[in-house]
Structure 1
Amino acid sequence: MATWAYLGLQDGASPLMEQLIFFHDHIMFIIILIITFVGYMLSTVLLNSFINRFMLEHQTIEIIWTSIPAIILVFIALPSLRLLYLIDEVNNPAMTLKTIGHQWYWSYEYSDFMNIEFDSYMTPTKDLDSSGFRLLDVDNRTVLPMNTQIRIIISAADVIHSWTVPALGVKADAIPGRLNQASFLINRPGLFFGQCSEICGANHSFMPIVIESVSTNSFLNWISSSSD
């Protein structure tokens, strides 16, 4: 794959992440190009030894370079405020997942089912098989059904952590003594990797997150086998 393909965001696996990618690629990127072009034009004018006095003191040009940034800010504000609202909204979740950050692992509890809870540790490199991902795979993956609205409740047992899965567009702090929540819907099967995104101590970089998205039937089978 070409090197430039790795410079963007991860492929979205949720409607929210797809909208965040669209906002980044089709709004922010275009606005950055416009700002770069305007900056180039201004620097060219200011560095030109034959500076046109019209460009520096005329009322019309002052109105233009005041109104254009204001319009740009409006184009940024409207979609970004909408996305911030959607990120914070929890809309009729079908199931709830509880996760607690520890130094240095995650524990999970399926609150809607009986006796399903486990700890998730990073798999040591010496124990990885040929299909594993170094520093990203875990011994117990978090299995979730696709096309299901999921609420995740996040806390911590010791210091501040951050539960982050970029492909799902989810990043929420895990704070001792406080419950934070986020909501997401996974729209395709697969493995989605994340990591703690808050510096939480010596082994901060060794507490990955692995979400395994499966069909509803496969999830129910997994629940049945896990509760036995």
Structure 2
Amino acid sequence: MQVLSRSVLLSRWAAIAAVVITVVMTAGGVAHAELGQPSNWQLGMQEPGSPVMDQVSWFHSFLLWIITAITAVVLALLVAVVVKFNARANPTPSRTTHHTLLEVAWTVVPVMILVMIAVPSFRILFTQLNTPQADLTVKATGKQWFWTYAYPDNGAFEFDSLMLQDNERKPGQPRLLAVDNEMVVPVNKVVRVQTTAADVIHAFGVPSLAVMVDAIPGRLNEAWFKATQEGVYYGQCRELCGRDHAFMPITVRVVSEQAFAAWVEDAKKKFAVAPDAGARRLASSAGID
């Protein structure tokens, strides 16, 4: 009786510890996550900035609870086995080799858990891959090591986007993520992002917008997002692409529809020529004529 009480007590403490850890992780993620960028001591994902990212964040929390429950149950069983069925507490072990109900349970329960995970997972995957009617198309070309953006729906202009050095950043701009020319899009509009690369494989990724798509030379991939809040969203190249892979950030500025229209008119004048300015700037900084 004493051994059984100890087993139950340890099981309860294990379950309580698992719940406390989960609550702390979840609360910490909500408290520290920022919109569009990482923050100090952040736990969890960045604050969602699009409907798809809302679903991804929900799915992440849903999986966290399932994983925590599974871990707690397994830990409780291990503790019970160690305490209740050791040689001292149980000197005459059972010789039972089959238990039909138990065998059915440990087959059916995992299948049910996998179905619970698969249904929302497939729904989110379908939403990400099924691009709706786009309001705007942006072509992002990955280069070593910067991005070139074009707006085929808005005129014949393109521009290069390079990371700002420490002495070029303004107050509030994060290190290694801020760029000189930002990708600008309107709020509450479906933006189709077409990606390709000019040299090696890159990847266009913006966490708060749930965008991650490879940029492959000779191939045109696409993803989409719909930013629901104005602000600045930061991302990076997510594919190991060479020496300066860590210095190839992505900055997406989401503005009102009126501000976007004004930006387009200004961009047509500012970026109408010299599409290879980024390459010349990199060559100049490296001392290459």
TM-score range, shorter chain: over 0.9
Matched, 1:85 2:126: yes
Matched residue count = 226
1:53 deviates by 4.2
SS of residue matched to 1:226: helix
Describe the superposition over 1:69-123 as per-residue Cα deviations: whole angstroms up to 9, x where unpaired.
1110000000001111111111100111001000000000001011321000000
Measure the CA separation in 2 of the matches of 1:171 and 1:55. Answer: 52
Q: Report the equivalent of 1:36.
A: 71
1:52 deviates by 7.0
1:12 to 44, 48, 60: 48
Q: Report the equivalent of 1:108.
A: 149
Largest Rg, 1 or 2: 2
Q: 1:209 to 1:60 in 2, by over 3 A?
A: same
Measure the CA separation in 2 of the matches of 1:201 and 1:15. Answer: 33
Identity, in percent, stands at: 40
SS of residue matched to 1:38: helix
| More strand by percentage | 1
1:55 deviates by 8.6
Moved more, 135-144 or 48-57: 48-57
SS of residue matched to 2:254: strand
1:41 deviates by 3.1
One-letter amino acid of the structure 2 residue matched with residue 87 of structure 1: Q
2:110 to 63, 69, 73: 69
Measure the CA separation in 2 of the matches of 1:55 and 1:66. Answer: 19
- TM-score calculated relative to the size of structure 2: 0.74
Cα pair 2:28 2:44 within 8 Å, conserved:
no
Q: Report the equivalent of 2:213.
A: 172
1:135 to 169, 173, 176: 176
Matched, 1:227 2:268: yes
1:204 to 245, 248, 256: 245
- TM-score calculated relative to the size of structure 1: 0.94
Q: Which structure has the higher relative contact order (CA within 8 Å, separation 6+)?
A: 1
SS of residue matched to 1:107: strand
Measure the CA separation in 2 of the matches of 1:7 and 1:182. Answer: 27
Measure the CA separation in 2 of the matches of 1:146 and 1:123. Answer: 25
- Runs of at least 5 residues in structure 1 that lack an aligned partner in the other structure: none
RMSD: 1.8
2:202 to 161, 167, 188: 161
- Runs of at least 5 residues in structure 2 that lack an aligned partner in the other structure: 1-26, 33-41, 270-289
